[in-house]
Each structure stands twice: as C-alpha cells, then as structure tokens.
C-alpha cells in the first residue's frame, strides 16, 4: 500500500481509542493516515493474553528463585538464585508496564472493562495506575509537537551527558512523590493536579488506593509469615531495577527531539533498530514513530505499519546501545527542560 495513493478508500474501524478515528499527532506531510486498511486495526486478545501469561510465568520463576534462596542454606547456588530471581523480576515489571500501554489504548480487548482490569493488574508491581497513565498518555498523543505536550513518564533530564548523570537518572525515584500526593488527595478529597475529568479522578484514586492496599497486605504477610520474600522479590527489584529499566525503555522515544514546537510526528519521535529479544521486551516500543503515526493501530500490527512508513522515517538509531552512547557522550541532549520549556 502507498500512503500517497489517494484512491484508497477511507476505511474506519469504530470510534474507540483503538480505531482509525482517534485523534492523531500533528504531521506536516500530506496526511493520509485515515486511509489505512481495516486489517491494521484488528485486535488479537489471545495474543495479548499469551504475552501476559508468559510475563507472569517469568515473574513466578523469579519469585521462586528468591524463595528457594530464603529457604535453603547460604551457598553460592542460593545466592545466585536470589540475585537471578531479583534481576528477572525487576526486569519483567517494566515489561508489564509496556503491556499496560496496550490496555490504555484499548489495543488488547474490545471491552473497556477488560482493558482496565488487565491494565490495573499489570501496573501493580510498579504502582502505575492504568487510568492515570491512560489520561496523561492519550493527551500526549493528541498534543505531541505543541506546547501542551506532557508525558506521564516525564524523563526530561538535562544532565545525562556523563556516566554519573545517567546513573543518577537511572535510579531516580521522584515518580513516587506523585503517587504519594495522589494517595493524599484520595484520602482528603482533594482533586488530582492536572486531571480535569471527574470520572478519571475517581478511577485514578481507586487504583492507587488498591495498589496501596496490596502493598500493605504484602507487609502484613511478610510480618505474619516472617519472610523477606516480598521485600526481595517485589519491593527492592521495583526500586533498584524496574524503575531504571523502564527509564531506559521510555526515555529514547522523544529524548533530544523537539516535542513542544515541531508539529511533525516523523521528526519529533524516534525509531530504534533492534533484535527480536529486545523488541519483545519493549513490546514494540522501538517502533515508536509508527505508534505515534497512528495510535489506533494495535501494537500487534505496529511492526507492519513501521515497514509501511519506513521510507518516511527521519529519526532512526541503529541500536539502543548506540542511542545511550550518544546520550552519555552528549551528542544527543534534551531539547526541553522539566517544565516543558524549549532549550537552545
């Protein structure tokens, strides 16, 4: 299919967030995105469920490694089991957030309730509300390339041009200040800053309170059963590994590009070439330009969309390693500061 072929009929696939009718990011080129064939918008719930099951199987393996180490004498084997279990769990938690990204776009299921149910479930380990992510992220898609653009995970660090600066950003936990503030708002009846819809306010508060209750239950279970399992398999891996791993997945999407005043999705979004293992781990996020090109295309079809628009891509990195190397060396720098102000 040629996107410049105006004879292609304007096929529609409904009016939900995973459809041809969603609001699209600004583009300066002739915009024929509404002419994508219907096949690009077909959801594959069974495939999504298989990804969820596989991810939780890996987490169960990680927890098993930690549990084995806690219940056996200290040996090199038990130490390696504990470290391996913590590392595996910590790496899969951010992978779940990438799966949550499918739910917030309604890419996973036709049912809004099912998308929210699974979205809340996979956000548990990193305390990332499905409804909060959805509220912020859909606006990010709509306003990308304008002054109104803000991201849910706002990785706009200005001091990454050194191993030390990159490491500080990797271990940054400031996101939890926002979580605590929302929990405070939930218990005091105050509104959540930046959220203007009442239903979204309620949903977001409910989900963060649910996560808090699950955390409290894990603390109670830890004390009652006198176990370090939750601390070593969930809390510590989330703070020490998962937050940094998620930073490295999400930060490359737009870092160093003008997302505040360049209304062209082909210029303000990055695509990264990578292997199949990394492509699975980031759940297709390496083809981020294609995702922003048409956010209604489910992630299971974004690879095909990426191939379609390949000749039009303007910001492409040869690998994630090459991108990080360019950031640490200072060749790629943040274009906006944490307030959203464009820098020189």
Q: What angle is formed at CA 229 by the lines to CA 223 and CA 230, rounded to 5 degrees?
A: 75
Nearest to 309 by CA among 27, 23, 20, 16: 27
pLDDT tens digits along 159-208: 899 999 999 999 999 999 999 999 999 999 999 998 999 999 999 999 99
Closest CA to 303 of 322, 321, 290, 314: 290
Asked whether residue 57 carries a pLDDT value surpassing 50, the answer given is yes
pTM of the model: 0.90
Q: What are phi and psi of 21, to 5 degrees?
A: -95, 5
Distance CA 25, CA 262 (A): 11
Contacts of 121 (CB under 8 A, 6+ apart): none
Top-confidence residue, 60 or 38:
60
Q: Tell me what pLDDT residue 124 has.
A: 98
**More confident position, 125 or 6:** 125
Residues 6+ apart with CB under 8 A from 35: 3, 5, 6, 8, 9, 10, 11
Q: Is 267 helix (H, G, I), strand (E, B) or coil?
A: coil
The per-residue pLDDT for 4 is 41
Task: For residue range 195-228, list pLDDT tens digits in order.
Answer: 999 999 999 999 999 999 999 999 999 999 999 9
Closest CA to 328 of 206, 124, 212, 157: 157
For residue 13, what pLDDT is reported?
Answer: 29
Average pLDDT, the chain: 89
Q: Which residue from 152, 109, 148 is spatially nearest to 130, judged by alpha carbons?
A: 152
> Does the pLDDT of residue 17 top 50, yes or no?
no
Percent above pLDDT 90 for the chain: 77
Give the CA count within 13 Å in the CB-facing half-sphere of 49.
6
State which H helix or E strand residue 272 sits in: strand 271-272
């Amino acid at each position: 299919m040629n996107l410049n072929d105006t004879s292609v009929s304007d096929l529609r696939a409904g009016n939900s967030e995973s459809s041809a009718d969603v609001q699209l990011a600004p583009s300066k080129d002739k915009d024929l995105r509404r002419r994508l064939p219907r096949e690009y918008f077909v959801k594959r719930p069974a495939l999504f469920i298989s990804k969820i099951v596989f991810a939780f199987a890996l987490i169960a393996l990680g927890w098993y490694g930690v549990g084995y180490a806690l219940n056996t004498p200290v040996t090199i084997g038990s130490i390696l089991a504990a470290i391996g279990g913590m590392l595996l769990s910590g790496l899969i938690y951010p992978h779940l957030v990438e799966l949550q990204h499918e739910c917030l776009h309604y890419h996973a299921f036709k049912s809004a309730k099912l998308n929210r149910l699974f979205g809340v479930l996979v956000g548990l380990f990193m305390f990332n509300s499905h409804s909060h992510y959805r509220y912020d992220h859909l606006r990010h898609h709509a306003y990308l390339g304008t002054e109104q653009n803000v991201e849910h995970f706002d990785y706009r660090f200005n001091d990454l041009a050194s191993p030390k600066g990159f490491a500080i950003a990797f271990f940054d936990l400031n996101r939890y200040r926002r979580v605590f503030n929302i929990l405070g708002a939930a218990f005091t009846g105050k509104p959540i800053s930046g959220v203007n819809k009442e239903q979204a306010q309620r949903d977001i508060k409910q989900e963060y309170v649910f996560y808090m209750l699950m955390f409290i239950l894990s603390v109670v279970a830890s004390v009652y059963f006198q176990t370090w399992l939750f601390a070593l398999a969930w809390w510590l891996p989330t703070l020490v590994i998962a937050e940094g791993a998620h930073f490295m997945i999400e930060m490359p999407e737009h870092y160093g590009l003008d997302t505040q005043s360049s209304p062209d999705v082909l210029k303000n979004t990055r695509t990264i070439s990578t292997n199949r293992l990394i492509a699975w781990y980031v759940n297709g996020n390496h083809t981020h330009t294609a995702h922003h090109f048409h956010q209604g295309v489910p992630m299971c079809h974004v690879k095909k969309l990426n191939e379609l628009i390949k000749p039009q891509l303007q910001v492409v990195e040869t690998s994630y390693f090459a991108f990080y190397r360019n950031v640490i060396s200072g060749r790629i720098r943040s274009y906006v500061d944490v307030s959203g102000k464009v820098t020189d």
